[in-house]
Structure 1
């Protein structure tokens, strides 16, 4: 499935850049994006990206079972404040695709991907919706994930 979020190397060299909006009420009393909203932007960007690929909990989604995940770990490092509402981007990629888990990275950045405001990583685990135990990714989900793997640095 082709993604509308993939961009030529002139914008991001790997992964996907997903447009996101920062609203006035996302800002704190100092006029900066509140720290908890950086992670929220990343979560929303991943949800939008996967939903576009039909990895969703919605009825009829092609890869519905692969959407049952839990977060095992998350980490965010802040580099520069976002000081105004507007259009931004979240650069997404996968660092490691395991049997039942994956580690992905993200950057909250300018809409063109040039300026980084925060970067982080998150580990998720696919779970069986009935047993709530870890379960393997489907081959179709693994193929989608391989498209986002960051090249060796």
Structure 2
């Protein structure tokens, strides 16, 4: 019989398997004599003369924590056909609850589309515009609100052309978070080209059609 008492406590050991997540496994210690199965395999020792400590071991690789992230934790980039223009929400566009007022969604879309046309030479001053005798007005606008927008922030407006008629164009659009992972709103807008003098519909010029066709896309999946 050993006259040295068994020690007790918790002990962290080295990674015996070389990988995996830590778990606790019992090990018996007789004043420096270690036994993974218990004191019965230590000569002269009985079960009543020991205490148990726990050793940190590691699990096999299939239980390792390095598993692929859950789909809900993985950001998904939403498809952005056509053109995507960054826009900013300002303080005076927020409602009393600190969210973007619903009427301002259409304004953000306006800013994005006007930015696009300005890059191609359009100007509200007819004398400086590359598109003479053209004046686009909104005939129809439909918006579905998907997720609220809170506070002053950067956003992205994605828009594309679904169809072009004699004097009209149908835009599809999405209002997204700046990283393109959150869909805040989506919809469609119909613009009509009108004659500045008569304020009646007028055919789109060939120059305007060429620009519009750079945005022509089939409606994207959600």
TM-score normalised by length of structure 2:
0.60
Name whichever structure is richer in helix by fraction: 1
Q: What is the Cα deviation at residue 121 of structure 1?
A: 0.9
Cα offsets for 1:55-106 (capped at 9, x unmatched): 222232211433x022111111000000121211110111111110011011
Which 5+ residue runs of structure 2 have no aligned equivalent? 1-76
Q: For 2:177, which of 96, 105, 110 is the aligned residue?
A: 110
**Cα distance between partner residues in 2 of 1:73 and 1:87:** 26
User: Root-mean-square deviation (CA), in Å?
Assistant: 1.7
Q: Rg: which structure is higher? A: 2
The Cα of 1:112 is off from its aligned counterpart by: 3.1
Residue 63 of structure 1 corresponds to 131
SS of 1:135's equivalent in the other structure is coil
8 Å CA contact 2:89–2:152 kept in 1: the answer is: yes
2:203 to 136, 139, 143: 136
Q: Which structure exhibits the higher relative contact order, with contacts defined as CA atoms closer than 8 Å and separated by 6 or more residues?
A: 1
Q: Say whether residues 1:49 and 2:111 are aligned partners.
A: no
Q: TM-score, normalised by structure 1?
A: 0.86
The Cα shift of 1:110 comes to: 1.3
Distance 1:13 1:30, change over 3 A: closer
Deviations 1:83-141 (A, max 9, x none): 12121111011111111001101111112333210111111110111111111111111
128, 146, 150: which one pairs with 2:213?
A: 146
User: Secondary structure of the residue that 2:133 maps to in structure 1?
Assistant: helix
Structure 1 moving runs of 4+ over 3 Å: 10-13
What is the CA distance between 1:152 and its match in structure 2? 5.8
